[in-house]
Structure 1
Amino acid sequence: MKFLLAKLPAVICLGMMAMLLASCGTPQPVMAPIEAMYAQTGPSEVTTQDIQDSSGKKLYKLYHPKELTSGHPIIVWGNGSYALPPDYDGLLTHLATWGFVVINTYSSSTGTGAELVAAAQYMAEQNDTPSSTFHGRLDPTRLGVAGHSQGSTGAINAHTHFAAGALIKTVVSIALPALHWCEPEDVYETSRIAVPFFIMGGTGDGLISPLSSNKLAYDNAPSTLPAAMAMAIDADHNAIQGNGNNHRGYLTAWMSYQLKDDPAARAAFAGDNPEIMTSPGWQNASTRNLE
């Protein structure tokens, strides 16, 4: 998903405004108990590594527990427009502290989903490669994909547009752009999603990812699909960058719920009183078919 050139100046202006506001200081988000628990650093010490091709070009950055055991779930990350792994280092390191093996591409054009599918396949192959650090240490049946902005369209498209999208067991879209921002090859169709789906937006993101487009994406997903949606209060379009800010806790909890069958994380989204429905830092929350 590349923003159309005719609309690019508005997007650039929005980004500049966001940076100026951030320089004035961003208040710490108020978090509910389960959200706050998963916003804290997990128990694992983390290491990172870059994967290069034969010419030395960087392809992927991996974040994973330093001490690998077995059955680690996999998260594939999709970058937003003009963003690369360093823009999300804090967040992806955080996810790895909770036992996930995270792979990000050195691509800032991920809207079609092709790069994310390739990354998913790469990690699945590493689990089966005897010479790999990850041989026998991963669980490719527990693989989720998440992305920011352009990468959020790529997360959806990776699952819906490719045969290998069957590897993906959950999809998370963060700051999902309204469809009119998408190039034709990046247009997403949430009606085609067949795995648990979580939409995370921000009330301060009215230009690119307003409540109306997030709600449309949620409503267009199959009515029987396990799904959740919520808008982080005052979060702007790039709030997910850095350490994940408002979104870090519930993103970690969702992945723990979906990929690790974590009962504590489940309570944030399912049961008689899902925490996210009344969390003080979120509004416009909705859940359905979550068990």
Structure 2
Amino acid sequence: MRWALWCALSAMLLTQSATAATYQAKGPIERRYAVEGPWATTTSVSGGPCDREGHVCDIWYPSDLGSNPLKGQADGFRHPVIVFANGTADSVAADKNAYFLRHLASWGFIVIRSRDGGTGQGDTVRDTAHYLLGLSRDPQSVFFDKVDAAKIGLAGHSQGAATATLLFSRNDPLFKTYVPIETPLRAVCVVANCTIDLGALPQVTRGSIFYIGGDLDVVSSLPTNLGYYTPTSNAVDKAMGVIAFGGHTEIEGNPGCKAGELPGLCNIGVYPLLGYPTAWFMWKLQDASDGPAAFAADGELAQATPGWLGVLSNIRRP
């Protein structure tokens, strides 16, 4: 089933042409977070299964857990968490999306993802979060007493982005904020069991969400993301932006695209996904004060053309 879905997506992507593009961070807030953060990082793999389907988890985290160089804090800091939900795959390699995920860890987050390539309704995604919370209570774990259980965010790509939006639409109490990247058309999610109930989005009362699409991504274009953003409740902070010349797999850049990438898949690389997603999580999970200036309706992201298109927001400056 997953292979059939990928073949269908590939056929759609091959029907369009793409222009190679370069990307430069434009505003000072984006430039701040597009560079590597002040924490050195470590990567590890769980010692056993971390979800109900028996997958292992990859974890990227600050090497000096408990410290916060941004605040001059040597010890006692509890790190917020970002759970990542993968796109559709029969198997997920240990290094898939690693540049993006390690970048987040360099800004003080503990980043964890199960190697599940069919996140669907989100059961394994929630399992992943609970697995890390279990480690935070284990005196034998490096994460013991180092996790802020009240500050867990969820990012996802493709099917994983739909899973993230689905959990957001259900007012899931586990996650505080969401960044779905390249959320696919609802028709695609019928196959992948990740269809989002548009009628639930106006009823959301908790969390916040930053929708990201790609200008050249036929499964997550401006109209598709607008179709999710528009009905999303104004009771929560919401923003949307589409990467100019962005294809479906920019997030897999390391940091640039692989040679011979298919048109519409990776045109720019991970560069446009380093600054603003990090800024969003820093705002929502580490209380960074520059969040409204970045994401307000008249903020920096809204002025980030030509790199970003179709920016919308209900966020206001204080």
Shorter chain as normaliser: what TM range?
Answer: 0.7 to 0.9
Deviation by residue 1:28-87 (Cα, 9 ceiling, x = unmatched): 344322111111000111000001327xx7510000000001210000001111254422
- CA change 1:91–1:284 in 2 (3 A) is same
Unaligned runs of 5+ in 1: none
Which one of 217, 228, 240 corresponds to residue 217 of structure 1? 228
SS at match of 2:313: strand
* TM-score, normalising length: structure 2: 0.80
Partner of 2:260 in structure 1? none
Residue 4 of structure 1: how far off its partner (Å): 9.2
Which one of 223, 236, 243 corresponds to residue 247 of structure 2? 236
Mapped partners of 1:248, 1:3: distance in 2: 28
Partner of 1:187 in structure 2? 195
CA contact (8 A) 1:276 1:282 kept: yes
Mapped partners of 2:123, 2:316: distance in 1: 29
- 1:268 matches 2:297: no
Mapped partners of 2:118, 2:6: distance in 1: 15
Which one of 37, 41, 45 corresponds to residue 40 of structure 2? 45
SS at match of 1:153: helix
Residue 178 of structure 1: how far off its partner (Å): 1.0
Mapped partners of 1:264, 1:147: distance in 2: 23
Mapped partners of 2:78, 2:246: distance in 1: 34
Q: Which has the higher helix share?
A: 1
The amino acid across from 1:73 in the alignment is P
- 1:256 matches 2:267: no
SS at match of 1:133: coil
**Percent identity of equivalent pairs:** 28
Mapped partners of 1:151, 1:248: distance in 2: 18
* TM-score, normalising length: structure 1: 0.87
- 1:133 matches 2:128: no
The amino acid across from 1:76 in the alignment is V
Unaligned runs of 5+ in 2: 67-76, 256-269
- CA change 1:25–1:135 in 2 (3 A) is same
- CA change 1:254–1:220 in 2 (3 A) is same
Residue 159 of structure 1: how far off its partner (Å): 4.1
The amino acid across from 1:32 in the alignment is G
Mapped partners of 1:228, 1:101: distance in 2: 24
- 1:157 matches 2:166: yes
- CA change 1:66–1:167 in 2 (3 A) is same
Partner of 1:201 in structure 2? 213
Mapped partners of 1:109, 1:32: distance in 2: 36
